[in-house]
Chain A
Amino acid sequence: MGKVVIDQERCKGCMLCVEFCPKGILAPAKEVNSKGYHPIECNDEDECTGCATCALMCPSVCIEVYR
C-alpha cells in the first residue's frame, strides 16, 4: 500500500513517471495547471505500492512517495 503526492503546479506533464510506473496507474489530468501543462495524477490509489519509481524518474522533483 503506497501513496504518491504529485505537486500539480510543479508538474510539467513530461510523462516519464507514467512510462515507468509498474502498475500503470499514472496519467495526465484533463485540466491544465497555471503553466498550461497537464499534470500527472494517480488514477487508482489502491494499486500504488509506493515503489517510488515515478519519483526516481521525475525531472521536476515534484513527486513525494509514502508507504
Chain B
Amino acid sequence: MTTDMKQVYAYPDALTEVEMRYCPGCTHGTAHRLVAEVIDELGIKDRTVTLATVGCSVYAYEYFDTDAVQCSHGRAPAVATGIKRVQPDTIVFAYQGDGDLASIGMAEIVHAAARGENFTVIFLNNAVYGMTQGQMAPTTLLGQKTTTSPRGRTAPEAGFPIRVCELLDTLDGPAFLAREALSTPPHVRNAKRAIKRAFETQVAGLGFSLVELLSTCPTWWGMTPLEAIKHVDEQMTKCYPIAVFRDRLAAQEGEQSAESAPGEGE
C-alpha cells in the first residue's frame, strides 16, 4: 500500500517493541521517543547504557533497546559516575523524574554535576509523584493540589518549588543545561534539539549535560491530556522558564569556526 511512498516517521530503532505502560497522554512516552531518535541519529545505540530509576519510568530498561542498569531511588548519577569512571567511552544517560532527581537524589545530582561527570541526564519534571499515586513533588507548583497537599501547596507548609536548571547553573561543572517543554509541536522539536545537544556534549567529552523536560501527568493532575499540555504551557513555564542555560559545545564550536575562518588572524 505504501510502496510508492517514503517513510518519513518510523518507530525508532533504539526503542524495543515493548509497549510502554504509561497512562494515555503522558509525555514520558514522547520523551522516550525523542531520546531514542537521538540515539539512532548519533549511531550510538551499541555503546549506550540506559539508567532506569525509580518512578513511573522504572521500566525504562525494557523500553530502550540498549544495555541498562536499574538504579535505586535517586542514585542514578552516582551509578553513572561509577560506569563512566570504568568506561569513559560508553555513552550513559540517566532518565530521572522530579522525585528521584530533585528530592531523594538531590545530593547525587548536584555532586555529579559539580564534578562535571561526562554523562547525560534526562530530567522529567511533571511536578507530581506519579507512580506512588499523586503525592507532592519538590517541583509541585504553589497552589497545586496533590494527594499530600490536598489544599494546595503552600510555602509555609511545604516550601517553594525547586528550579533544578537554575540551581545547577550556579556550578562550574555542567557543560550543557536546558529546559524545554513537551507541550506543543514547536516545543517538542526544541526538546529534541536540546536532547541531541546534550548527547553530543557527552560524545564530545565536554562533561555533564542535563535536559529538563516539563511534562504532563494527566492522571494525577486530574486533567485530560489536552488540558495537561495547556497547563504546562500556561502555568508550569511561569515557574520554570524555558531556556538553554549553558551550552559549552556551542562555545567550543564558536571558537573552532573562529579559528578556521579564512582571513582571520595574521
Contact = CB atoms under 8 A, between A and B. Distances in A.
A67 B7 CA distance: 6
A20 B185 contact: yes
Contacts of B22: 59-60
Interface stretch (B23-31, B44-52, B75-83, B159-167): B23-31
Interface in B47-99: none
Contacts of B24: 12-14, 37, 59-60
Contacts, number: 81
B6 A66 contact: yes
Interface residues of B, number: 33
Interface string A13-47: 11110011000000000000000010000000000
B26 A64 contact: no
Given A37-B24, A66-B2, A61 B33 contact: yes
Nearest to A65: B9
Contacts of B25: 12, 14-16, 59
The 3 closest A-B pairs by CB, nearest first: A59-B29, A14-B25, A65-B9
Given A3-B2, A16-B25, 6 more contacts: A3-B1, A12-B25, A52-B9, A64-B10, A66-B2, A66-B5
